[in-house]
Structure 1
Amino acid sequence: MAEVAILKGTPYSLPSEASGSLDELRSRLHIVRTDLQKALESARRMGLVREMDRAHGYSSVFESNSIEFEGPDLAGTVEVIESDTGQRVLRDLNINLLPEVLQKDRRAFAAIGLETARVLALRYIGGDVRGLCQSDVRSLHGVLMAGEWFAGRYRQFDAAISGSDHAPYPTYEIPFAMAELCDWSQGPVEGDLAVLRAAVGHAWFTHVHPFQDGNGRVGRLIANVLLGQDGLPPAIVKARSQRSRYIAALAHSDEGGDIMPLVGLFLKTIERYVSELQRPKAFKRLFDQLVARRGSSYFDWYRNSLSDFMSRLSSELELFGLRLTLLDELSQEVFADLRGGQRQTVMTALITDGDGQDLVLYQRPPSTAARNRFSADERVPTVAFALPNEQWKLEPYRRTKRADLDGLADFWVQPDQPTSVFIDGRAVRSHSVADGASLLAEQIRRGFARRFELPPRYFDSARWLPKIHGGPG
């Protein structure tokens, strides 16, 4: 395919096989921009723009910290940012107060420091400003890590990334690599490929890994600056429900040079953001409930029922030499979105056979069969199956066909007395937890025995998922 101008001067390139994904990106991004303007106008009429910005900003801080297992919960994040100390820091970006916070409460420091860095990053958006320079990046890090001896300074020691085989740049190459990245970021771009630009900037930065700590959080700020400069909302990756997919997408870009899974993930987060803007009152109400730590008995009931079933399914699969590894979890917010039919997915588990085959279980909105059987207040997410996709696709996995799993399409765990498991095979039938786990394990075993219909893979990306412990930095 013709060279994509936005990739000139970067470590990334796209072959002809990626042309379909680029066309899809352009089409979906056009819809996003149109819907974004309409949603903003509607939110302005209701006087909710400021409240929505506040809620999304706090969510961004909480999720980014949580990916690195840092900071307090969402309610704690809001509390410390809105505290007297937090507001004193933010009012004038007075980072001289942050070392004092660090000494007293490291979790509060993580929230206030990242929010301060996020506010600083917003100053790099607007007007004719393009990209970032090295001093901008170091300033973001200096604010995020204020009080640490390495704040705002490039790494002085060679480093390793927990859970990854990628070896970051040696220290002497960091200034040159960062100069190349920043020079590239300041160049002209195609507006219909803005998400590709943000994904490249983020992946490239995390690949260089220029700082001692905080690379992931700074990298996500960089991506959101690039998106904001192109008139798009931030990409907020959810720690509980999207972390595995995010880390795996970075592994794709590091190990195989394939940037498209990260592009696809960022695009999904932006589409979700616009969807939330289109229903501002509902989103604001849910955000306030989460901050207030209000639980949901039905959510807890479903989560416990699904956990019990997955444990039973894991035991049944072990009898066939198959291993089930749990991945991302549902949050109350995503649970509510899925029940309402919002288009998003959560990678729930990975099944492997020790012979290079992988099968992903993911939660999605209730299927037609589930909607026909239960009322809105009883519906729960459906669990579907996916196999590794071809290279250069926005989605790293494709949904299975019925032939892949002996007629099996999906299933869902319905909280009840007792809990029931509904399996959509050649017909939809209800089973007990024990019988449902046994039946599913047998059908999954047959799929592995036939080796599904897997595409050729250039590296074993899914095998990376069970090793996820750390993050990008």
Structure 2
Amino acid sequence: MTWNWTLPDWPEFRYDATLIEGLEQQFLLSSGEILGAVRHIGASDQDQLRIDLLSDEAMKTSAIEGEVLDRQSVQSSLRRHFGLTADNITAKPREQGVAEMMVDVYSTYATPLTHEALFRWHGMLLSHDRRLDRVGAYRQHEDAMQIVSGRVDRPVVHFQAPPSAQVAAEMERFVHWFNNTGPDGAGGMTPLTRAALGHLYFESIHPFEDGNGRLGRALAEKSLAQNIGQPSLIALAFTIEKTRKAYYDQLERAQKTLDVTPWVVWFSETVLAAQQVTLDRVRFFIAKARFYDRHRAQLNDRQAKVVERMFREGPEGFSGGLSADKYLSITGTSRATATRDLQQLVEQGAMTRTGELRYTRYWLKLDG
């Protein structure tokens, strides 16, 4: 099998820039739209938006690799790292590590990429993993670094990375490429193209024993942030996780050639979809502020507790809506009081009601 790094022109990727021009323009327009929308959110909600988006990214970049994290633990760790009021939840090592990495990527977006930064992120991400021989350093093992699936006796090799002996030189060239193609570099690239090629380039070297996917997506976030000139809150991993199979299929195909137009187009479209996720989240926070402007004074303590709990679920809200039983569970009140509270919320225009009898469900009434 021929891999991209074995080809004579490696790493000179080829792509049709004319097919990406419109996507690049849309990226810049959407970036401006997100920035404009965020300005309509209060400071505390901006903090919560940042925590929500970064925790989603931490959760989903791990989920892509089949790792399930505890959301509360991730958010608690993020709040502490940002110097915000934190709860008493003790962050688990895995969650604390990925949260620490996300904060570092976010906070140091503008600095040039270095080997030391990559080692630092790898250490944050995997210092808890006792299976690895090297944490915070490039791999050195003699065995082939392969991406495989299938049965142990009949493995399917999806990709084989360069031998460990080549990694140091490959990464020296990659770090130079990353910095040179940035907005301040001599070979500056447009945002989507640079992020797409950078992610593919890094994944093709696969320089660490583990964690390459998570670090590669973090690099794409850093790349995009540098090009828009501020920390990125683009829900990239969140969006990739929803199309995980397509992501791996596209990556596998791109790692067999240097003609990578399909990959750049796919990745660019995914970033645009991720921007819309972020924009929807920002609009949700704006709608939340307007909701409280209209209804805060009308809510009793029980209603306020339930509304706050529903907002905590995010734009999707409770799966299947709020039932009377959920209201009872949250407030601990009587069924008669719950019925009266819910009816009041509907009459005030704070909620809408769907269904009948035991299928009755309640939804926050949010205006865009």
Partner of 1:160: 146
CA contact (8 A) 1:62 1:71 kept: yes
In the alignment, the residues of structure 2 paired with residue 377 and residue 256 of structure 1 have an alpha-carbon distance, to the nearest angstrom, of: 53
CA contact (8 A) 2:61 2:237 kept: yes
Partner of 1:21: 19
In the alignment, the residues of structure 2 paired with residue 287 and residue 229 of structure 1 have an alpha-carbon distance, to the nearest angstrom, of: 32
Q: How many residues align?
A: 270
For 2:192, give the aligned amino acid. V
For 1:112, give the aligned amino acid. Q
In the alignment, the residues of structure 1 paired with residue 212 and residue 227 of structure 2 have an alpha-carbon distance, to the nearest angstrom, of: 23
Q: What do residues 385-432 of structure 1 show as CA deviations (whole Å, max 9, x unaligned)?
A: xxxxxxxxxxxxxxxxxxxxxxxxxxxxxxxxxxxxxxxxxxxxxxxx
Q: What do residues 121-150 of structure 1 show as CA deviations (whole Å, max 9, x unaligned)?
A: 223223xx34x1111111110111114442
Matches within 5 A, 1:190-269: 193-231=190-228, 232-238=232-238, 241-257=242-258, 258=260, 259-260=263-264, 261-269=266-274
Partner of 2:108: 124
- Distance change >3 Å, CA 35–CA 297, structure 1 → 2: closer
For 1:276, give the aligned amino acid. R
Shift of residue 13 of structure 1? 1.4
CA contact (8 A) 1:156 1:171 kept: yes
In the alignment, the residues of structure 2 paired with residue 112 and residue 291 of structure 1 have an alpha-carbon distance, to the nearest angstrom, of: 25
In the alignment, the residues of structure 1 paired with residue 288 and residue 227 of structure 2 have an alpha-carbon distance, to the nearest angstrom, of: 25
Q: What do residues 246-275 of structure 1 show as CA deviations (whole Å, max 9, x unaligned)?
A: 212212321244232222222321233233
Shift of residue 11 of structure 1? 3.4
Partner of 2:12: 11
- Distance change >3 Å, CA 43–CA 174, structure 1 → 2: same
More displaced 10-residue stretch of structure 1: 108-117 or 255-264? 255-264
In the alignment, the residues of structure 1 paired with residue 243 and residue 233 of structure 2 have an alpha-carbon distance, to the nearest angstrom, of: 18
In the alignment, the residues of structure 1 paired with residue 202 and residue 282 of structure 2 have an alpha-carbon distance, to the nearest angstrom, of: 29
Partner of 1:302: none
Shift of residue 279 of structure 1? 3.4
For 1:208, give the aligned amino acid. I
In the alignment, the residues of structure 2 paired with residue 87 and residue 272 of structure 1 have an alpha-carbon distance, to the nearest angstrom, of: 22
User: Does residue 170 of structure 2 align to residue 177 of structure 1?
Assistant: yes
For 1:53, give the aligned amino acid. R
Shift of residue 111 of structure 1? 1.8
In the alignment, the residues of structure 1 paired with residue 13 and residue 354 of structure 2 have an alpha-carbon distance, to the nearest angstrom, of: 47
More displaced 10-residue stretch of structure 1: 203-212 or 114-123? 114-123
In the alignment, the residues of structure 2 paired with residue 199 and residue 210 of structure 1 have an alpha-carbon distance, to the nearest angstrom, of: 18
For 2:26, give the aligned amino acid. R
Partner of 1:140: 121
Gaps of 5+ in 1: 1-7, 93-100, 299-375, 379-473
In the alignment, the residues of structure 1 paired with residue 79 and residue 32 of structure 2 have an alpha-carbon distance, to the nearest angstrom, of: 35
Shift of residue 235 of structure 1? 4.3
User: Does residue 73 of structure 2 align to residue 79 of structure 1?
Assistant: yes
- Distance change >3 Å, CA 58–CA 87, structure 1 → 2: closer
For 1:167, give the aligned amino acid. Q
For 1:78, give the aligned amino acid. Q
Q: What do residues 72-130 of structure 1 show as CA deviations (whole Å, max 9, x unaligned)?
A: 2xxx22235417xx877x479xxxxxxxx9xxx9xx4322111111112223223xx34
Provide the alpha-carbon RMSD of the alignment: 3.5
For 1:233, give the aligned amino acid. L
- Distance change >3 Å, CA 276–CA 192, structure 1 → 2: farther
SS of 1:169's partner is: coil
The percentage of aligned residue pairs carrying the same residue is 18
Shift of residue 278 of structure 1? 3.3
Q: Which runs of 4+ in 1 moved over 3 A?
A: 8-11, 188-192, 232-235, 281-287, 290-295
For 1:237, give the aligned amino acid. A
CA contact (8 A) 1:10 1:181 kept: no
In the alignment, the residues of structure 1 paired with residue 211 and residue 354 of structure 2 have an alpha-carbon distance, to the nearest angstrom, of: 41
Q: What do residues 318-351 of structure 1 show as CA deviations (whole Å, max 9, x unaligned)?
A: xxxxxxxxxxxxxxxxxxxxxxxxxxxxxxxxxx
In the alignment, the residues of structure 2 paired with residue 43 and residue 91 of structure 1 have an alpha-carbon distance, to the nearest angstrom, of: 18
- Distance change >3 Å, CA 290–CA 202, structure 1 → 2: same
In the alignment, the residues of structure 2 paired with residue 170 and residue 125 of structure 1 have an alpha-carbon distance, to the nearest angstrom, of: 30
- Distance change >3 Å, CA 195–CA 154, structure 1 → 2: same
- Distance change >3 Å, CA 170–CA 248, structure 1 → 2: same
For 2:172, give the aligned amino acid. A
For 1:71, give the aligned amino acid. V
2:320 equivalent among 278, 296, 299: 296
Structure richer in helix, relative to its length: 2
In the alignment, the residues of structure 1 paired with residue 254 and residue 235 of structure 2 have an alpha-carbon distance, to the nearest angstrom, of: 18
- Distance change >3 Å, CA 204–CA 377, structure 1 → 2: farther
In the alignment, the residues of structure 2 paired with residue 25 and residue 233 of structure 1 have an alpha-carbon distance, to the nearest angstrom, of: 19
Gaps of 5+ in 2: 1-8, 84-89, 150-156, 290-307, 323-352, 356-368
1:114 equivalent among 72, 91, 98: 98
User: Does residue 279 of structure 2 align to residue 274 of structure 1?
Assistant: yes
In the alignment, the residues of structure 2 paired with residue 205 and residue 139 of structure 1 have an alpha-carbon distance, to the nearest angstrom, of: 16
SS of 1:162's partner is: strand
CA contact (8 A) 2:53 2:235 kept: no
In the alignment, the residues of structure 2 paired with residue 268 and residue 252 of structure 1 have an alpha-carbon distance, to the nearest angstrom, of: 22
For 2:173, give the aligned amino acid. E
SS of 1:48's partner is: helix
CA contact (8 A) 1:199 1:266 kept: no
Structure of greater relative contact order (alpha carbons < 8 Å, 6+ residues apart): 2
